[in-house]
Structure 1
Amino acid sequence: MSKHATFGAPSSIAEANQARIARLLHQCGILSRAYIAKALGLTAPAISKLVARMIESGLVTETGDLPGARHRRSIGLALKTAAYRVIGVKFARSRVDWGVFDLAGKPLQQGALPLMSDRDIPGTVQAVTVQVNQVLAADPSIIAVGMAVPGPYLRHEGRIALVTSMQGWRGVNFLNEFSQAFPVPTFIEQDARAGALAQNLFAPDHRTPRLTGPNGPAARPTAATNLAYYLVGEGVGLGVIESGRLINGERGGATELGHVSIDVNGRPCECGNRGCLERYCSAVAIHETMCAPEYSGSFPQVGGLDHAQACQLLFQRAAQGDEPASELLERVCTCVGYGCVSIINAFNPSRIVIGDLVAGAGRPLLDTVRRIVSERALPELRQSTRICLSSLPADATLLGAAAVAVDRFLQAPTAYASLSKQRAGKSGHKPVIRPAKESQP
C-alpha cells in the first residue's frame, strides 16, 4: 500500500477487460485474438478493439503468424514484458537485497546493502530510500516498487508484529517510511506471501503448460488456485493462495506457520510461545545449533559465518557423509516435515513449494519431508498434495517482492502504460534495455 494505493484501479469495463487480456498473455505467452476471445468469453470484434488499444498504448505487440485450424493463419499477440520493469526489495533480518526485473521475472540488475545489526536499522531504511530513488532516476521504464518484509506483517498498520532475533524491525513503519518516498506506486507484502505470488507468476513448473493447439493452448489455461509457498530461511513463513487469492487474515497475520508450536515444552521463543517451528529449522536456529556445545567441536569456525554460509557448510558436510552434520540435517528436515503436515491438514493445497535458504539442502530435505508427511498427515489430504522444492532462484523472496509489483501491474496495465510514458517524457529519453548485471550499492 502507498499514496498510490488506488493507482491503476480499472475505471471502466474496457480497462478491466484489458487487464484480463494482459494476465492471460502473461500466463500463456503468444496467443491469437480468436483464442483470447474464446478463453475470456468475449466477442471477436470486442477483442480486436481492445487489443488495438493495447498495441497503441505499448502493452501488446504482434509477433507474426500462428498456425490455425483448417490451414488458416492468425497473427500472434504477446505482452511486452521487456518494456516495463519493477524494483523488488527484500527485507530479511540481517540484510536487504534489491533488484530490477522485467514483467516476466527476468533479473536485470541486483544489489545488496551491507549486513546489519539492530542498531543499524534506521540507517538501513534511509539507505533503501536513497538506493531505490537512484535506480528509478536512471531507468524510466520502472513503473512500480514491490517490497517483501518478514511476517507477521500487519498490512493496514504498516508494521511487523514480531521479528525474532532482530526486534529492531518492529520499530519501523513501512507505510510511513516508503509510501511517499518514490515517484511510482509502492506495494508491501509479507515475504512468504510474496513468494507465493512469485511461484504463481514465474515458476515454469507451476504455471499452466503452453500446450499447442489452434491459435493457442489446446485447453483453457487455469492458474494455480490452491498453492502454498513454505519459506524456510532466516525465518519460517507461509504464503497460501486459496481459490486464486492470497489468504491475509483480519490484520494481515494469517498463515503464520513459524510460530506454530511443534513441542509444547520446547525451546522458548521471543513470541512468548514455546517450541515454535522457527526455533528448530530456520537458518538462524540452524546456525545457533551449530554453535552450541553439542556441535561446536564439529563446526569449530562456524561462529564467524553468517546464517546462509552456516547452512551451506552444514549441507556440504552432510553430503560428504559427515556423521554429526548428517544427524543435525536430519533433525532439521524432520521439523520442516512437521510444518508440511500442518500445512496439509490446515489448508489442503494442491502444491507445497519449499523455498529459501534451507531448501538448499536439496534431495535429503525433500525425501525426509515426504516421509514425515506420509507418516503423519491425513491420508485423504496428503494424497492430493504435491510437495516440491522451488525452481526459482535461491533468493526467491527477492523475486517475490518483484512479483508483488508485477501482480499490481497486471491488475491495471493501462494505467501503468500511461505512467511509463509520463516517466519517459520527463526523463527526455526512451527506456533502454540493458543486459543483466550484478552491482553493489
Structure 2
Amino acid sequence: MSAAFVWPPRHAPGFPPGCADAGDVLGRMAETAGREVTMIVVTSALRASVEEAGDHDAGLRTVRDSLVLVASGADSGRWSASYYGKDLVLIRPGAADPPRMRFADGVRHGWAWGRVQLGGTKAQRRESLLFACYEMSMAARLRRDRPGIQETRSAPVIGGAPHVLGAAQAASLLAGVLVRPLGGGDGVRGAAPDEDPRMPGVPSADGWTKTVEGRTATDFYAVTDVHDIEWGTLSRTSGARLAEGNAHELLPTAEAWLAGRSSTAEVLRETYRLRLAREHALVEHLRKLSDAVRPTGQLHATLGDGLSGLVPDGTVMRAAVTAANRRTEGRMHSGVGVTPLSSLELPAARERAYFSLHVTKTLKGTACPEAALHEFGKQLDTESAAYAVDYLRGLARAGAGQPGHHHLLHARRWREWWLEHLPSSARAAFVRL
C-alpha cells in the first residue's frame, strides 16, 4: 500500500509547477516540528472567478495563479507554502506572527491564522494539523465573504460566527473541504504516483495532458459533478429527500451552535468527524466512477467533486454513473455531460460537455434519464424539457443572489444551445426566462 504522506512532497494537482501538496507538507511538519507551529490559510472566491471568466477551467487557473502570487510575497525562508483545492497553506515551526499579506487585484481572497500545539504520536500530530487547517479555512472563508471582520486569528473569527450568520449560512460554512479526506491516522490508504494525493484510487489532474495527447476522433469528452453536494437533492414530484448534502447534514449542529446549546469546540469536533465521513464517501464515489470507465477510458480529478476525461462512448459513461450513483444512493449522486470529440478542438469539446452537464443539473430530482447523463446534440423529450424549463423559471422568479442562480446565468449564456436541444413546444417558455 502506498504511503498517505510522503516526502519530498508531491505536486498539488492542477496547480502551477513547483506547488507542493498541502497534506504532504503538513505530514512532514508533524514529524519534524517541535511542540508548536504557526499556520495561515488563504482561500479564494472560486465561483466568482469562474463566472467572470465564463469558463470553469479558466476561473480555476486564475484562482490558483493568484494563490501562488500570495505565497511569493511571504518569506520563503521562514514559511513553507503548500496548496489544495482553492486554498494556500503557509506554515512554519514555532510561534510567530503572520507576515504582511499581499493580494493582487482580480480575485477575492480571505485569510486567517493561528498557532497549533502539537503532542502525542505522529498520527495525533498530523490530525492536529489537519483539524487546525479545517478551522482556519473556515475562518478564512468567513473573512472573505465578510470583509468587515478585522480579526485575523481563526479561533475568535470562528467563535464570532454565531453572531453574524444564520443557521443555513453556518452549516454551509462548516461544510468546508478537507486537506485530506481520509484523515491523518496510521494505516490510511495512500495514493499511487499517478493518483490525486487527496483521493487515492482517482487519477490526478496532472495526468490529463497525457490522456488528451492519446485522444482519437471517436472518443467522447466527459465531465461529471455531484448534484447539490451542499444541500442535497429533493424529488421534484414528491419532495422526498433523494440525497443528503454536506451542509444539510450539519444543519442540526449549526442550529444547536447558534442557539448556544453547543460550544464552538464541541461543534468543530463534531462537524470535522462528519466531514471526514462525507469526504471519504465522496472519494469512494469518484473512485467508482473512474474505475468503471477503465481501461477503455480515463477520468481525472480535475474538479473538487467531479471528474473529466475521455471515454469511448456515452454508453460506457452512463453505465459508470449509474453504478456509482447506486453505490451511494441516498448520500450523493452525480450527473455527467458528454460530447463526441469528432474534429473539435478540446476547448470547444469541453464547453459542450459542460453544457450537457448543466442540462443534467436542471433535471436533478427527476426520473428523466438525462438527469444522470446528457449527450450534446441529443434533444430533450417533452417531459424532460418541461422539467428543465420549470427549474430555470423557478430560479428566475427567485431572483439574483438566491441559491442556484448561477445555473440561470449559465442557461442564458448558452441560450442558442438550449434552443437547439429543446423541442419546439418548450422554446417560447425558455425565451421568456
Look at both structures and tell me which one has the larger radius of gyration over its CA atoms.
Answer: 1
Scaled by the length of structure 2, what TM-score is found?
Answer: 0.27
Q: Which has the higher contact order (CA 8 A, sep 6+)?
A: 1
Question: If the length of structure 1 is used for normalisation, what is the TM-score?
Answer: 0.26
